[in-house]
Amino acid sequence: MKNEIPQHIGIIMDGNGRWAKKRMLPRVMGHRAGAQALDKLLKDASGLGVKYITVYAFSTENWKRSEDEIKGIMGLLREYINKYFDEMESLSLRIRSIGDLSALSPELQADIARMKEVSKTRTGITLTIAMNYGGRDEIRRALTQIAKDCRKEVIHPEDITEQLISSYLDTSFLPDPELIIRTSGEWRTSNFLLWQGAYSEYYFTDVLWPDFNIDTLKEAIAWYQGKDRRFGGRNSK
């Protein structure tokens, strides 16, 4: 074993649509099964030692999907964020979000704000939900803010280090993920944690997201633990 348990795991929960199609169900039922899989995983993973889990729930590109599907995913997000409020207190789950929330419905925005506030002192896993999130959009928004702060002379162009850029990103409260998992046999980053994933290990599995569980998570972690991480250097850490 070369590495400890990863502190932060990013997950691209892909394959809900295909899972539903295989069962002749509407796509939204695949997303519902996906939300249930996440729910169960968070419960089962609470003792593993992973501190942060960041999931890609809705990308800046997902607005291209049908109105019905978008409505279905948004409804699930509200339902599950409220469920975390009611049921997940015993797990001590801390909820955060990344992405541009301003395009989401006022009701969903209010639920997210309430969950963040209520869960902020909890000490269990930090679940960060990426909603209306795209890595390029996040970097664009950070650059806009950096430019504004330069204009106001709060910072100066020579202050722009990698650390400073990280502190302007939505993920400023998170360490970079050591491991990023993508399910359903696709080998793409799809605009997820572009800056933060520079040195992440990417684990791709054919399992469709609704079928992902604690055993498949443990397989991914074991794979990660055996990796030689060189960060561009010659020797492992």
- Token output for 111: 């639920």
Active site residue 149: no
In terms of CB distance, is 78 or 141 closer to ligand FPP? 78
What is the smallest separation between the CB atom of 196 and ligand FPP, expressed in angstroms? 18
DSSP state at residue 56: E
How far apart CA 74 and CA 212 sit, in angstroms, is 21
Which parts of 30-170 are beta strand (E)? 52-59, 94-98, 126-133
Token pair belonging to 68: 């019905």
**Are the CB atoms for 45 and 176 separated by under 8 Å?**
no
CB of 146 or CB of 193, closer to ligand FPP: 193
Q: Residue 11 in 3-state DSSP?
A: strand
212 three-class SS: coil
In the sheet with 201-204, reading across from the earlier edge strand, the strands are: 94-98, 126-133, 52-59, 8-12, 179-182, 201-204
Residue with smaller CB distance to ligand FPP, 84 or 224: 84
Closest CA to 92 of 112, 128, 118: 118
Q: Which is nearer to ligand FPP, 11 or 142 (CB)?
A: 11
Q: One of 62, 100, 149, 176 is an active-site residue; which one?
A: 62
What backbone torsions phi and psi does residue 52 show, to the nearest 5 degrees? -130, 130
C-alpha span between 219 and 203 (Å, rounded): 10
Q: Least separation, in Å, of the C-beta of 208 and ligand FPP?
A: 7
Chain positions contacting ligand FPP, by CB under 6 A: 13-18, 31, 34-35, 38, 55, 57, 62, 73, 76-77, 80, 129, 184
Question: Is residue 86 annotated as a catalytic residue, yes or no?
Answer: no
19 vs 224, which CB is nearer to ligand FPP? 19
Residue with the closest Cβ to ligand FPP?
17
What amino acid positions are annotated as catalytic residues? 14, 62
